[in-house]
A and B are shown apart, each in its own frame.
Chain A
Amino acid sequence: MADLWRRGGAGAVRRSTRAWRVRTSAVIMAAVVLAVLLVPPLAQLDEQAVDLSAKLLPPSLAHPFGTDDVGRDLLLRCVYGLRVSLLVGLVAALVATVIGTAVGACAAASGGWVDRVVMRLVDIFASVPHLLLGIFIVAMFQPGVWPVVISVALTHWLSTARIVRAEVLSLRSRPYVDAAVSGGASRWRVTVRHLVPGVLPQAGLAAVLMVPHAIWHESALSFLGLGLPTHQASLGTLVQSARGSLLAGDWWPTLFPGLFIIVPTLAIAGLAGAWRERLNPRRRSELTL
């Protein structure tokens, strides 16, 4: 996701804006994490429980986000949906980062034809649009949480592999690595001991930036009917199942899940942006989505 708090030409106003952004993002993320962790165990409510007598109630004090077309509370469903989507996003980002780091580090450490072949394969993978590839992979399995996680993970490790490879190559030219190599350490030992720890911050940043992207993919797959089953709350299935109500004029079942995708995404991007600026103070920010 994007980060580009522009550097240079610094002024007090911009710095304070930036600090405000980071603070706001941190507060939002803290609220999101708390809600997702605490609401389900504390509320002890069954988000699947159908109350056919309370269908499609507009937002009110009892139901701040209103109810859906079988009478389920939408705030509760949104929190559960965010929980599932965040979980999918985190796990997928983690798996993708592990794969990407391993492939990137191996390619860079091996060098020669292995490096060339591996990076060519990465190029080939990158030639198929992510969502398209994701759709194919999901089609392999039955709908559910894990197929979506796997599909998102398998389509998102490519950029991490490239970043890690470049980082390893640049680290390898550092003096302390040279020293280790001339000290007789094996290539793999040098990679594991010196290079991988060196790239971890970059890989970690890539992982965090990947989370909103993964959430976005999950919701897209679910919306297309290829992701999670429709009765299971996720941000994508909530938007999908709200279509009928939207056409009948009831806007709330569509609006709120969408906001639940946008707000955490912006918050994560805000935090990650600050982190990246710290990590790469001299590098120009670049856009990724």
Chain B
Amino acid sequence: MTFGKTAPAPGRIPWGPMARMTGRRALFAVPVLLVVTFGAFAIAAASPFDPVKAYAGTAGLTASQENLDQLRANLGVDQPLVSRWWQWLTHALSGDLGDSSVMRQPVTQVIGERLGWSVLLAAVAFVVAVLLGTALGVLAGRRTGGWCDRAISSLAYTLQAAPPFWLGLLAVWLFALKLGVLPAGGLTDTGSTEVTAGQVLSHLALPAAVLAASQLPWFVLYVRQGVADALDEDPVRGARARGLAPRTVLLGHALRSGMLPVLTLIGSRVPELITGALLVETVFSWPGIAAATVEAATAVDFPLLAALTALATVAVLLGNLIADLLYGLADPRVGFDG
């Protein structure tokens, strides 16, 4: 990790190398997705959880063995693993991801209905975390070791160590139960059949805040480090020696050079964001993709699991690509070879 270089001279954007890098990554994504989806099918096949029981629900508990066997044959779960996977893959290429056995809907529909809400939650949380994290990081990095730095750093470490689901529960207790100012979960008020912006906004506030809080420490600590390092570097010291005002030094030099590498690394936070969303969506019963993942995993819903894994993998690869592109742009010495 290289910090605190002066920003590269603004020049022409190297579209060619960037496009080539994107192409190479897209090619790499094919074997990755093959391996990951097959892995998902293999794991599910080895599991003791019985999709037939999941399908039969409570009635399955009193059903006779004969009935269950018939169900098994009807559902097609008695085929071998490889043929199930291959069938799924060929269908997936034509846009048919199969039917989710736990949601009783086509997988594409499950994803279509839920992806937007997850993206909304993650995006809002992410933007809040970046903005707030940068502000706090600059405050802390301005004078490391000062009381402000100590307070912010301690808070950041504590937040980083605190599990998001615990933060979420305490937030529900405080804001929904004790103060009664925000709804405790869901997307809209249950009685309404329509989704209005105002309702979504009030239901979004708590989960987004908790998700942002769980992502915040990383940004705070990175920006703090970047700014502090930059303040130590020769050009900044030189500027200071030339008698520039501290504020100008901080905002004009240190912030710029300290933050650039941080911003370029945002894309690599996607896995942590997905992890946080898994927990936060569960606590707040947010109707997103992550909550569906947990359900699919417990019920061994093959098609939904495979699709969601592939989706998460694509998101991570995309995040990495964006990170590397930005990084290459910010630091021409790194280039676009990856």
Direct contact of A and B (CB under 8 A): yes
Is the CB–CB distance between A135 and B163 below 8 Å? Answer: no
Asked if residues B160 and A2 are in contact (CB atoms below 8 Å), the reply is: yes
CB pair B145–A11 under 8 Å, yes or no, is yes
Asked if A262 contacts B162 (CB within 8 A), the reply is yes
Q: Which 9 A-B pairs have the closest CB atoms?
A: A265-B161, A258-B166, A129-B271, A131-B275, A129-B274, A262-B161, A135-B297, A136-B43, A140-B47
A-B pairs with beta carbons under 8 Å apart, 25 shown: A6-B225, A14-B144, A14-B145, A121-B35, A123-B32, A127-B316, A127-B320, A130-B271, A132-B275, A135-B293, A136-B39, A136-B44, A139-B47, A220-B163, A220-B278, A224-B278, A254-B166, A255-B170, A258-B162, A261-B162, A285-B225, A286-B1, A287-B221, A289-B160, A289-B272
Q: Which of B31-59 contact A (CB under 8 A)?
A: 31-32, 35-36, 39-40, 43-44, 46-49
Asked whether any CB of chain A lies closer than 8 Å to the CB of B300, the reply is yes
Q: Residues of B contacting A247 with CB < 8 Å?
A: 172-173, 177
Give A224 Cβ to nearest chain B Cβ, in Å. 5
A48 proximal to B (CB < 8 A) = no
**B63-115 contacts to A (CB < 8 Å):** none
For the complex formed, measure the closest distance between the CB of B141 and the CB atoms of chain A, giving whole angstroms: 9
Does B284 have its Cβ within 8 Å of any Cβ on chain A?
no
Question: When the two chains form their complex, are residues B222 and A287 in contact, meaning their CB atoms are under 8 A apart?
Answer: yes
Across the interface, which residues of A come within 8 angstroms of B271, CB to CB? 129-130
Q: Residues of A contacting B156 with CB < 8 Å? A: 2
Contacts of A131 in B (CB 8 A): 274-275, 278-279
Q: Are A220 and B279 in contact (CB under 8 A)?
A: yes
Q: Is A42 an interface residue (CB 8 A)?
A: no
Per the 8 Å Cβ criterion, residues 234-272 of A in contact with B are 236, 239, 242-243, 246-247, 249, 251, 254-255, 257-258, 261-262, 265-266, 269
Residue in A136, A138, A141 whose Cβ sees the most chain B Cβ within 10 Å: A136
Q: Which B-chain residue is minimally distant from A212 (CB atoms)?
A: B161
Residues of B within 8 A of A246 (CB): 169, 172-173
Q: A127-B317, A139-B298 are in contact. Are A4 and B293 (CB under 8 A)?
A: no
Report how far A247 CA is from B178 CA in the complex, Å.
10
The smallest beta-carbon distance between A58 and chain B, in angstroms, is 15
- Report whether A1 and B160 are in contact in the complex, using a CB–CB cutoff of 8 Å: yes
What is the distance, in angstroms, from A280's C-beta to the closest C-beta of chain B? 12
Are B173 and A127 in contact, CB atoms less than 8 angstroms apart?
no
Question: How many pairs of residues, A versus B, come closer than 8 Å at their CB atoms?
Answer: 160
Q: What's the interface size class on A, roughly?
A: 35 or more
Interface residues of A in 134-155 (CB under 8 A from B): 135-142
Chain A min CB distance to B122 (Å): 12
Q: Among B35, B44, B48, which residue has its beta carbon within 8 angstroms of that of A141?
A: B48
Q: Is the CB of B145 within 8 A of A132?
A: no
Quick one: given A142-B48, A223-B163, A258-B163, are A136 and B32 in contact (CB under 8 Å)?
A: no
Asked if A67 is at the interface (CB within 8 A of a chain B CB), the reply is: no
Q: Which of A13, A124, A132, A223 contacts B293 (CB 8 A)?
A: A132
* Most A C-beta atoms less than 10 A away, residue of B31, B156, B163, B297: B163
Cα–Cα distance between A137 and B309 once the two chains are bound (Å): 13
Residues from chain A with a CB closer than 8 A to the CB of B294 are 135, 224-226
B161 CB contact (under 8 Å) in A220, A223, A242, A269: A269
Are A132's CB and B312's CB within 8 A? yes
Given contacts A4-B221, A9-B144, A127-B317, are A266 and B158 in contact (CB under 8 A)? yes
13 further A-B contacts with Cβ under 8 Å, apart from A226-B298, A286-B1, are A2-B160, A14-B144, A127-B316, A127-B320, A129-B275, A131-B274, A131-B278, A132-B309, A136-B40, A247-B177, A254-B170, A258-B166, A262-B161
Is B3 a contact partner of A284 (Cβ separation < 8 A)? yes
Say whether, besides A6-B228, A135-B293, A139-B49, A124 and B36 are in contact (CB < 8 Å): yes
Is B126 in the interface zone, CB < 8 Å from A? no
Residues of B within 8 A of A285 (CB): 225
